[in-house]
Amino acid sequence: MWSLAGALLAMAAMLLVLGLQPRQRPLTQDDIDAAVRHALEKEPLPSPYAKAAEAIAPSVVRVIGLMDEKDDGDENVQLNAEKKALDRSLGTGVVILDNGTILTNLHVVHGARRIKVRFHNGHESEAQLINVQPENDLAVLKATSLPDDLEAATMRSTSDLRPGDQVVAVGHPFGIGPSTSAGVVSGLKREFRDPEGKKMLTNLIQFDAAANPGNSGGPLVTMDGHVVGIVTAILNPTEARTFIGIGFAVPIENAASAVGMPPF
């Protein structure tokens, strides 16, 4: 009896203590939002554009078309004023197979005596032209030496691409890069005729991410870091040759066919 009485007394005391403690207020949506804001202030999330650029960066290369056999591609060489500047074609490429297969624009390497590529980690290599697709201004290169950490880009079908979708263009505009610009898909199935009016490109992706000479051959990338096109042209009715808001890319389906890869 005494033991039972003691147990009942202890239980009553515990209930009394619990009853005196303040009850915890249930969480509201405002509490959750405030906690999220506090966390983001401490460690902001990278933008979708930054994530896309980081995903494609290891696969982007600088492409240099050397028009003079004496040109070794050294960008630090200082030419005397009386010497004629070496003629070079500068552009961008994207690795699509980890064996060193690179996509770029045909006009970037057209007429080059030699081709050099510089990978993301600074590794440089000679490259061979192994295939062309003139109707889409595409060229396929194969690097002769590869960096140890080479990564191929992931390609994605354009079948679900829509005007308004966010994209980034990564390349070496005016030789500066790699540089990233962001925008949206402006339209699909566009046509473009070169400034001389001799060549018509069709079924192009129109985009408004800034692109300039040197971006040619670079990837047009969705927010998941997948390549949907190869930047090939900009529309500019002036002689400035600078970007005015209209760029064009060859859909990756056309580009993949230039390499002999199966369709998506």
SS3 content of the chain, % helix, strand, coil (to 5): 25, 35, 40
What is the rounded CA–CA span in Å between residue 193 and residue 129? 25
- From 107, 120, 172, 181, active-site residue: 107
- From 89, 120, 125, 137, active-site residue: 137
Confirm whether 71 is a catalytic residue.
Answer: no
The CA–CA distances, whole Å, from 209 to 14, 102, 196, 234 equal: 67, 22, 24, 11
Two tokens, residue 103 = 């996509």
What are the residues facing 65 on neighbouring strands? Answer: 89, 115
Q: Quick one: CA dihedral 223, 135, 111, 124, positive or negative? A: positive
Give me the count of residues in the chain. Answer: 264
What is the rounded CA–CA span in Å between residue 107 and residue 217? 9
Nearest to 218 by CA among 260, 181, 166, 163: 181
> What letter represents residue 136's amino acid?
N
At 223, is the secondary structure helix, strand, or coil?
coil
What is the rounded CA–CA span in Å between residue 14 and residue 226? 61
The CA–CA distances, whole Å, from 168 to 15, 40, 139, 163 equal: 63, 24, 21, 14
At 149, is the secondary structure helix, strand, or coil?
coil
What is the rounded CA–CA span in Å between residue 96 and residue 262? 13
Confirm whether 216 is a catalytic residue.
Answer: yes
What is the rounded CA–CA span in Å between residue 173 and residue 177? 7
Catalytic residues, by residue number, are 107, 137, 216
